[in-house]
């Protein structure tokens, strides 16, 4: 679960982003972002009931996307409100496919910075400056 400071919760914020942001598409997601006056980057995950009528399936997808974002929070650029809309094509995909798609989308829109990052053993992006060699 995302920390509270990184969650987009207000309906008015979602509406501002939906109206004012240019969408960026990937295989499973549509990402919209707007600059924010706050220091922290906030994320909101939107998944329509059209994706699945079962709330358990929608919540599972929301939890998976949130976990991918949470693992990459240390590498995010600050000062954005970001809305991630889930596409219908995500159904029946495994976690690794979803993770690869969402991480590449975050890099594409420069929410996750690449300058000193590399892949760790679990596939998440890590900051090379924090890795110590013995």
Q: Go through the domains of the chain in sequence order and give each one's CATH number.
A: 4-112 (3.30.230.10)
Mean pLDDT of 48-71: 96
At residue 42, does pLDDT exceed 70?
yes
- In which band, very low, low, confident or very high, does the pLDDT at 124 lie, cut at 50, 70 and 90? low
How high is the pLDDT of residue 134?
45
Angle CA 82–78–74, to nearest 5: 100
Mean pLDDT of 28-36: 96
List phi, psi (to 5°) of 73.
-60, -35
Looking at per-residue pLDDT, the higher value among 105 and 122 belongs to 105
**H or E element: which one contains 119?**
strand 117-119
Secondary structure class of 82 (helix, strand, coil): strand
Q: Name the token pair of 21.
A: 């942001």
The whole-model pTM stands at: 0.80
At residue 133, does pLDDT exceed 80?
no
Question: Residues 76-88, buried b or exposed e (16+ Cβ, 10 A)?
Answer: beeebbbbbbbbe
């Amino acid at each position: 679960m995302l920390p509270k400071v990184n969650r987009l919760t207000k309906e008015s914020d979602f509406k501002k982003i939906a109206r004012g942001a240019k969408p960026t598409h990937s295989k499973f997601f549509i990402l919209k972002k707007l600059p924010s006056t706050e220091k922290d980057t906030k994320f909101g995950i939107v998944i329509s009931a059209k994706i699945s009528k079962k709330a358990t399936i929608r919540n599972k997808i929301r939890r998976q996307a949130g976990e991918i974002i949470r693992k990459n929070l240390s590498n995010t650029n600050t000062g954005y409100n970001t809305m991630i809309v889930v596409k219908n094509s995500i159904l029946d995909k495994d976690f690794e496919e979803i993770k690869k798609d969402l991480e590449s989308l975050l890099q594409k829109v420069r929410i996750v910075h690449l300058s000193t990052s590399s892949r760790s053993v679990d596939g998440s992006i890590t900051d090379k400056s924090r890795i110590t060699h013995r």
